[in-house]
Structure 1
């Protein structure tokens, strides 16, 4: 029998398999040095390829994953990084570039091991990347806070696009790089002051004053990168609220026992497992659910289902950058080891509520959505695509209780009948007047009948 070899096989047919396997293992020996845990990952290829615009930087590349774009379509921003490095060094007269490089060299190995993939950059090239990217991020912050005029802030698209790129999941460097550069450039009371540093970043990321933000150190001590810090600032208020709600007073305990006694058990309700979805906005509206803007939300996720079937939702402004931000936050939660899925749950909630442009119209009318896209249909597509591929634990997600309560309200025949009555007969002032007039006429007719018949029965015999 004749054996057919491919060109690759012919080149290696004389090399024993044992040697080929050993060579491959030696090529991948770098993996043995990685002790983890990894904190910077790639989005799975099948997800990223279908939504490249949501994960790839448009203006500035940070870190090694999109390093290949620096000499191509993002080359202009690389020149700006050198200019901002010079500006960074001028902030401290005692600071020199040698000090910065020494600081980056001291953490180079640990930083390299933060990435889940092998970084094919030499030591000096890798350190230069960290220096340029870290100084670029800090200079953007410094200039924004002090309102220094800069070419990067000219034009409405510049700052918005840069900010969006800095919060991409695959476009990150470890937070320790930014912290180390901040410590060596600052002087006086702000030097080595982590709270001051977090305040600086919070003002830029959250667009709020530092006095209005709290920094629970048990979370912030483990910041992995800029997107992770933004995620913590975004969800911390809801976590703190859960921790501070406990009140061991006897009155509260008595109320809790009473509520448990009068509330049907999950088995009787038939909703032991919360639904993975709830009806869309228009269906809920027809069933009597009323939508209202949460006037003073603690954060974006402060959604409440109140007495009387009122669903309070914090206002959300949607634009071309919001989808990328939420998508990358969901990607971050997929790789976080501490299990918080708040943003993923929020995306699942909004995807359930919004299917069509009619759903968007109801929420817009309620002040919940501020649509900056071209149409309500585009806004509906925005939420539909945002929820594609979003998986979560339906038993333990952030809105599990809300999903259950909304579904119970929607399934109630009484609520649906009452809502149908209101919609049919009290949907406008003229309809109310018509009903009242009909009731008055009916009453007058009954009264007239009574006075017509009554004399006959009371007539003396």
Structure 2
């Protein structure tokens, strides 16, 4: 049978009139693909190793990630047994009502059929919640006993491309907790964030959460970004600060007639160069958060300790990817990356920071750690006037430039 050539005008018109595609692909997008040029440079930091969540790596579920798909069905059954009146039909109905909004969360058009897409959301959402419940109740499970879990599983749950909309997880949680007195959203979110951080549950007062959480990585990010000591200190009345710091503030603060000529440096000298200028590095004791960096009197730069391993590499990389696309939040992690990239140029810098207790390098070599930090900020940009460490950069650079300190 002869092939019928369809005019281009007709093909284009058909695509424009295809409402099944067009209506779903309108956003606002909250789950993106990492740009190909960035992902291809180090795919292993963006792709799941054990469990696929969401549609972007759905194709791996029938191949190298198949084992975890069987575990998802087991955990779905366990999830449904948590409430005597809980029915799978109720869960499916709830997820089905979220299908349209869920599809619109992804920056790529999702080709999965309706029932396949809903089943994916159901399995993934219940898998996450059941793991959380088992962790919370200290309920032994085979996934917690295996050598690669739960640390590697949690690492996969925090990949930027490996997400489902958080509204699905919240909806399923509300169903299983119907009638329970402890069904408090802020408490649930705070405990879930601690689960993702792989730390013990805390019974302290939970933080107040915003109304909108986009996915698990966003939840982790919002829990992580808590104002640190350095930011709080800058809010004090300058007259109450030590005289040496008042003078620093005078020199680093642009006057109205300078028209921005005293912009903070985009980077500062590396650790070995700073040490030669008299800067001393110390591990920050009891930091409020990982970004609680402080530069104090005597040229002492205190930094919270950071363990670098394969999971932490993936976490930092994906948090940077989130902030690159996250127009609804700050750029704290990106600023932290800029700080560490400045401090670390070579393996000697890594060795210096490790001796100071600032870094605990679990990678194969100091050179590998140096290369990681040098590449981590590729493709990112930040405002040098307003980023998290802009004042600290000014303090450090002024100290470094002082002939007195050098001598």
- TM-score, normalised to structure 1, is 0.80
What is the CA deviation profile of residues 386-425 of structure 1, one whole-angstrom value per residue up to 9, with x for unaligned ones? 23333222222111111111111111111101xxxxxxxx
Q: State which of 268, 280, 301 in structure 2 corresponds to 1:311.
A: 301
Q: Distance in 1 between matches of 2:158 and 2:249?
A: 47
Q: Deviations for 1:166-225, whole angstroms, at most 9, x for unmatched residues?
A: 0000000011111111111125444642023113303312315434464233xx321100
Correspondences of 1:296-335 after superposition (within 5 Å)? 296-335=286-325
The answer to whether 1:40 aligns with 2:31 is: yes
- Answering whether residue 89 of structure 2 is matched by residue 98 of structure 1, we say yes
Is contact 2:361–2:369 with CA below 8 Å preserved after alignment? yes
| Structure 2 counterpart of 1:216 | 208
* Aligned position for 1:457: none
Aligned twin of 2:402: 412
8 Å Cα contact 1:348-1:390 kept in structure 2: no
- The CA distance in 2 between the partners of 1:28 and 1:330, in whole Å, is 35
User: In the alignment, does 2:273 pair up with 1:286?
Assistant: no
Q: 1:390-405, aligned counterparts within 5 Å?
A: 390-405=380-395
Unaligned residue ranges in structure 1 (runs of 5+)? 1-9, 418-461
Distance in 1 of aligned mates of 2:161 and 2:102: 15
Q: CA deviation at 1:237?
A: 3.7
Q: Is 2:55 the partner of 1:64?
A: yes
2:187 and 2:206 in contact (8 A); partners too? no
User: Residues of 2 paired with 1:262 and 1:114: CA distance?
Assistant: 45
**Alpha-carbon distance, 1:19 to partner:** 1.8
Write out aligned runs for 1:188-337 (5 A).
188-190=179-181, 192-206=183-197, 207-212=199-204, 214-217=206-209, 220-238=210-228, 252=237, 259=246, 263-264=250-251, 266=254, 272-337=262-327
Partner of 1:389: 379
Which whole-Å CA distance do the structure 2 matches of 1:322 and 1:188 have between them?
39
Contact 2:279 2:301 in 1 (8 A): yes
Q: Distance in 1 between matches of 2:60 and 2:302?
A: 44
Q: CA separation in 1, counterparts of 2:249 and 2:72?
A: 65
- Separation in 1, partners of 2:394, 2:212: 34
User: Taking structure 1 as reference, are residues 330 and 27 closer, same or farther at Cα in structure 2, changes over 3 Å only?
Assistant: same
The alpha-carbon deviation at position 34 of structure 1 amounts to 4.2
1:310 deviates by 0.7
Pick closer, same or farther for the CA change 1:174–1:261 going to 2, 3 Å: closer
Pick 1 or 2: higher relative contact order, CA cutoff 8 A, min separation 6: 2
| Alignment match, 1:6 | none
Larger Rg: 1
Say if 2:346 and 2:367, in contact at 8 Å, map to a contact too: yes
**Residue 32 of structure 1, CA deviation:** 3.6
Distance 1:237 1:394, change over 3 A: closer
2 CA distance for matches of 1:262 and 1:99? 60
What TM-score, normalized to structure 2? 0.90
Distance 2:123 2:401 in 1: 58
Q: Is the 8 A contact 1:350 1:383 kept in 2?
A: yes
Q: Secondary structure at the match of 1:300?
A: coil
Q: Is residue 98 of structure 2 the alignment partner of residue 111 of structure 1?
A: no
CA distance in 2, matches of 1:162, 1:137: 10
Distance 1:349 1:200 in 2: 30
Deviation at 1:62, TM superposition (A): 0.3
CA contact (8 A) 2:32 2:161 kept: yes
Give secondary structure in 1 for the equivalent of 2:307.
Answer: strand
Aligned residue for 1:50, secondary structure, equals coil
Which residue does the alignment assign to 2:339? 349
Change (3 A) 1:142 1:397: same
Alignment RMSD (CA, Å): 2.6
Shift of 1:302: 0.5
TM-superposition CA deviations, 1:125-168 (whole Å, max 9, x none): 11100100000001111112222222212233221110110000
Residues 214 and 309 from structure 1, CA distance in 2 versus in 1: closer, same or farther, beyond 3 angstroms?
A: farther
What does residue 135 of structure 1 align with? 126
Instruction: Report how many residues are paired.
Output: 399
Of 25, 35, 45, the match for 1:54: 45
2:151 corresponds in structure 1 to 160
For residue 279 of structure 1, report the CA deviation from its aligned partner.
0.7
CA distance in 1, matches of 2:32, 2:99: 18
Q: Deviation at 1:380?
A: 2.0
**1:88 matched to which residue of 2?**
79
Cα–Cα, structure 1 residues 241 and 398, in superposed 2: closer, same or farther, change >3 Å?
A: closer
**Unpaired runs of 5+ in structure 2?**
none
Q: Which runs of 4+ in 1 moved over 6 A?
A: none
